Amino acid sequence: MTAMTLYQASIPPMRRSLANLAAFFAKSADHFAAQGVPESDWLGASLAPDMFTLTRQIQLACDAAKFAAARLSASSAPVMEDVETSVAELSDRIARTIAYLDDVAPSAIDGREDAEIEVNFPNASIYFTGSSYLRDFGMPNLFFHVTTAYAIMRHKGAPIGKMDFLGPIEFVPHDAVPA
């Protein structure tokens, strides 16, 4: 079995998750436009009164990915103001976040498995190693916001399903799997 590097465990799955988000967001946007549903009606939707809206979930999914990449690579994340109000603006934010992930070099992350990662909150800071940050906070945080965005779109009637969430899957022929 080949060991997976910290870069391989972080950037490709984060990029994939955002690419899948972009695809099912576009599919949902097309559906709602064809139905004549104003963007504000579904972009402003949430699953519960005390939950963030779809717009905010997409912003936070992008933030989760860019901040994870920045923390793991000991660099600064690009600034993205939370000003999006349309499908086009949110789609652009996802694309800019993917472009940022594409610019992160494997050498900037690999070898930082034991590096100290600090995450600051308004009332506290928490500390991780690179590996524990990715496993316990970075990836779950991204997946939470992408999943919640998916659930809001689905709840509002978008014709999306599990395969849209999962996206293209790389299947390996049975005879290519080592015994």
pLDDT at residue 1 is higher than 60? no
pLDDT digits (tens, 9 = 90+) for 144-174: 999 999 999 999 999 999 999 999 998 888 7
Say if CB 68 and CB 10 are below 8 A apart: yes
Identify the residue with better confidence: 169 or 53: 53
Say if CB 29 and CB 38 are below 8 A apart: no
Provide CB contacts within 8 A for 89, sequence distance 6+: 83
For residue 14, the Cα-to-chain-centroid distance in whole angstroms is 6
- Split at pLDDT 50, 70, 90, the class of 179 is low
Domains of the chain by range and CATH?
6-169 (1.20.120.450)
Residue 111 backbone dihedrals phi, psi, to 5 degrees:
95, -5
Measured CA to CA in angstroms, residue 95 lies from 16, 38, 126 at distances of 12, 23, 29
Q: What is the pTM of this model?
A: 0.94
Give the lowest-confidence range in 34-43, 104-113, 114-123, 165-174: 165-174
Beta strands in 20-173 (DSSP E): 116-121, 124-129
